[in-house]
Chain A
Amino acid sequence: MIQVNNLRKTFGGSNKTMFSSLMGNKEQSPVIALDGLSFTANDGEITGILGPNGAGKTTCLRTLYGLLKADEGSATIDGINVIDDPLAARARLGIFPDKFGLYERLTAYEQIDYFASIHGLQGDAKHQAIETVIKDLEMTELAHRKTLGFSQGQRMKVTLAQALVHQPPNFVLDEPTRGLDVMSTRVLRNYLARFKEKGHCILFSSHVMQEVAALCDRVIIVANGKLAAEGTPAELCELAGETQLEEAFVKIIGSDEGVAA
C-alpha cells in the first residue's frame, strides 16, 4: 500500500546569492511542483495517475523513491516512511523511473541479475526469478545480448524486468507503455493484471486514456500539484457528466490549457 499525505515541494527561488543580480538572473519565482497532494493506492488494485504535463506526477513518484525530499508532508510504503527508513521502503518497491538508462556494456541478463542481487536474491532462487521474468516479458532472445543498440522498446523491457524481478509488493511505474509496441503493451497489461490478482499494489502514471480506463481500478487526477479528482473511471465520467474518460479528464482539469501545455 502506498500512501501520500499532503506533499508539498518547491523548486528553486530560495537560493538567492549576492551576485544573482549581477549574473542577470533576476527574482526567479519558485516552481511549486506539489501543493498538498494526498492519495492512497491500495493493495490488490491498480491505481492510475493522470495529469497534464508538468502537473507534478513525476515529482510525486520521485518523492516516493526517496530521490526528492518533500518540503512538507509524508509518503509511506506499507506503512514505512520513505524519509525515515528509505532502504526498507525501497526494498518493498519496484521502480520503473521516468528517466532510465542501461548499462550498455552488460547483457540484459546481467543487468537483471544485478538488480536481483541488490534486492537480496541469491543462488537458485535468483536464477529462477530471472528466468521467470525474462519468459514473462517475452525477451528470451534479448537476454544474452549486450544492451548497446537496443531499441526503445527493448530497453523498456529490460528496465521493466529489472524492476519486477524481485516481485515487489508495490510497483511504481512512470509511463511504462511509452514506446512499447502493441504486443509488448498487451504483455505488460496482462502481467500487471496478474500481479493485481496476487494482491500487489500497482501505481502507474500514463497519458493513454484507453489504457487507464481498461486497466485501472482507481484513477487519481493531478493538476497543478493538487489532487483534482479521484475514483473509478466510471465514477470520474459520472462526476464530469461525460461518457469518455478523456472528455471527463479535460473537463475535470478545468480547461484545455493543461492539454496544450
Chain B
Amino acid sequence: MINFNISQFKALLSKELKEAFRDKRAMMMAMMMAVMAPVMIFAMSKVMIKEAVETPEIYLKISGAEFAPKLIKALNDENILLFSDVPNDKKVIWDDRNIGLAIPESFNQDMLDGKTIDIYLSADYSEKANNSPVRRIKNTISNYARTIGYNRLLVRGIDVRLLQPIKIIEQDTSLPNSNAMIISMMLGLYLLMAAFMSGLPVAIDASAGERERNVLEMLLCQPVSTVKIVSAKLCCASLIASIGVMLTLSLTSFSVSFIDLTKIGASFSLDTYTIIALLLLLLPICFFASALQLFVAFQSKNFKEAQSMVSMIIMLPAMVPVIMMFVDDKPKWLDWLPITGQSLIMEDLFKGLPVPWSLLTFTGLVTISMTVVLVLLMAKKLRSEKVVLALS
C-alpha cells in the first residue's frame, strides 16, 4: 500500500515537472528574476560608490559674487562653481535645482569691521537631490569662516583651543557591513521576490490553467487523493521557485565580487556561511509562496482571474519588508510569522550579526506548518463540487 502511494505520487510529480520544464515561457519568467537581480545590485552599487567618493560639480547662482572674490575662490576649490559657467547640457538641471547664494554689497567693509556678515543660501531643502550640494556648500563656507575667525584670534595672541572646551570624538560602532545596508536591503527584498515570482507561472498553470483546459476535472475523477494531487503541484512549483532563488543568490554573489565596495567602507560579502543561512531561510518561503499562489489560483474561476489575484500576493514580499522599516517597536510575533520573520533575520544577517539559528528554525517551522495547513485546505476545497466545476 505504501509502495502504491509512493509510485502514485511519483507519477503525479513527474508529470508536473515534465509539464513545467517544457513550458518555456514559464521557465524564462522564473530565470529572468534570477538574472535581473545581480544586474540591478551591480548598477546600484556603482552609482552609490560614485556618489560617495566623487565630488561632482555644483553650479550655484551667486548674486554679488564680485564682493567676495576670496570666498568664491574657496568654493571653486571645492568644485562649487558659478552658474554662469554651467555647460549647456547641465543647464536645465541646475536651473531647476535653483540653489542660490546672496552676498551683500557690504561684505568687504563688514569683514574689515569685524561684523557678522549675513549671506543667504536658498534652496528647496525637501528636495533629496539638493541634500548633498547644500551640505557641501555649507561645509565649505563655514570652514572658510572658521579659518578667518581662528586667524583673528591668533593675531590677538589667543589660543584657538579655548574655543573648544569639549571635543566630541565620534566612534561609529556600526559594523562595517552596515554601510552597505541599502544594497543588502535590496538584495533581501529581491530574494523574497524571487521566491514568490519564480514559481508563479507554474503555480497558476498547474491549477487555474489545468481547470480551464478541462484536465483537472479528469484528474479529480481518478482514484487519487486530493492531498496527493495538491502536494505534487506544490512540490513542482516550489522546486522551480527554489531554483530561481538559488540562481539569484549564486549570480549575485558572483557579480558582487566585481565591485570594490571597500571604497564606501563596506565589506559586503556573500560567503558560503551566509549563503547557507539564506537558503535555509528562503526554502520554506518558496513552499509557502507556492502554496499561497495555488490556493488563490484554485479558488478563482478562470485563468485571468487567477493571474490578477495572484499578482496581489506578489505585493506581500515587496511591501512587508518596507513597512517593517517604519515600525520602530516591532512586536515579538513579527519575528515568527512567515515573510516578516525571514526579512528581519535577513536584515540582521546582512548587518553581519551572528545568525540566530533557533529563531531561524522556529520561523521556518511556522512557515512550513502554515504551508501544510494551506495544502490540507486546498485538498478539502478540491473535494467540493463548487470549486471543482467553478460554480457559484
Contacts and interface: CB of A to CB of B under 8 A. Distances in A.
B221 A103 contact: no
A68 interface: yes
Interface in B13-28: 15, 18-19, 22-23
A91 interface: yes
A117 B223 contact: no
Nearest to A90: B223
A100 interface: yes
A159 B218 CA distance: 10
Interface stretch (B3-11, B87-95, B269-277, B345-353): B3-11
Interface string B204-227: 000000100111011011111100
Contact of A118 (B8, B388, B389, B391): B8
A73 B277 CA distance: 57
Contact of A103 (B10, B19, B224, B391): B19
A100 B213 CA distance: 8
Given A87-B225, A88-B223, A106-B18, A117 B218 contact: no
A97 B221 contact: yes
A86 B222 CA distance: 9
A122 interface: yes
Interface string A115-126: 101111010000
A246 interface: no
B8 A97 contact: no
A77 to B, nearest CB: 11
Contacts of B222: 90, 95, 115, 118-119
B221 to A, nearest CB: 4
B214 A110 contact: no
Given A67-B385, A105-B19, A118-B8, A99 B214 contact: yes
Interface in A211-233: none
Given A87-B224, A120-B7, A104 B213 contact: yes
Nearest to A159: B218
B84 interface: no
A101 B391 CA distance: 19
A170 to B, nearest CB: 12
Interface in A71-130: 86-91, 93, 95, 97, 99-106, 110, 113-115, 117-120, 122
Interface in B372-392: 385, 388-389, 391-392
B388 A67 contact: yes
Nearest to B8: A118
A117 B385 contact: no
Nearest to A117: B11
B313 interface: no
A102 B23 CA distance: 15
Contacts, number: 79
A86 B385 CA distance: 14
B251 interface: no
Nearest to B5: A120
Contact of A100 (B7, B8, B218, B388): B218
A100 B219 CA distance: 10
B223 A106 contact: no
A11 B389 CA distance: 12
B12 to A, nearest CB: 7
Contact of B213 (A66, A68, A88, A101): A101
Contacts of B4: 120
B3 to A, nearest CB: 9
A242 to B, nearest CB: 37
Contacts of A11: 391
A65 B7 contact: no
Contacts of A21: none
A101 B215 contact: yes
Given A67-B389, A97-B218, A101-B218, A91 B7 contact: no
Contacts of B388: 67
Contacts of A105: 18-19, 22-23
A102 B11 contact: no
Contacts of A89: 223
A69 interface: yes
A110 B18 contact: yes
Given A68-B385, A103-B15, A103-B215, A117 B8 contact: yes
Contact of B223 (A67, A102, A118): A118
A5 to B, nearest CB: 19
B8 A114 contact: no
Contacts of B218: 95, 97, 100-101, 159
A103 B216 CA distance: 10
A116 to B, nearest CB: 8
Given A101-B215, A106-B15, A106-B18, A66 B8 contact: no
A99 B217 contact: yes
A13 to B, nearest CB: 12
A97 B218 CA distance: 7
A15 interface: yes
A159 B221 CA distance: 13
Contacts of A118: 8, 11-12, 222-224
Interface in B166-192: none
A66 B15 contact: no
Contact of A101 (B15, B22, B214, B220): B214
B385 A65 contact: no
Interface in A138-165: 159
Nearest to A114: B15
Contacts of B12: 118
Nearest to B4: A120
Interface of A: 11, 15, 65-69, 86-91, 93, 95, 97, 99-106, 110, 113-115, 117-120, 122, 159
13 contacts: A65-B221, A67-B220, A87-B224, A90-B221, A93-B221, A93-B223, A97-B217, A101-B215, A105-B23, A113-B11, A118-B11, A120-B7, A159-B218
The 3 A-B residue pairs whose C-beta atoms are closest, nearest first, are: A117-B11, A101-B214, A91-B223
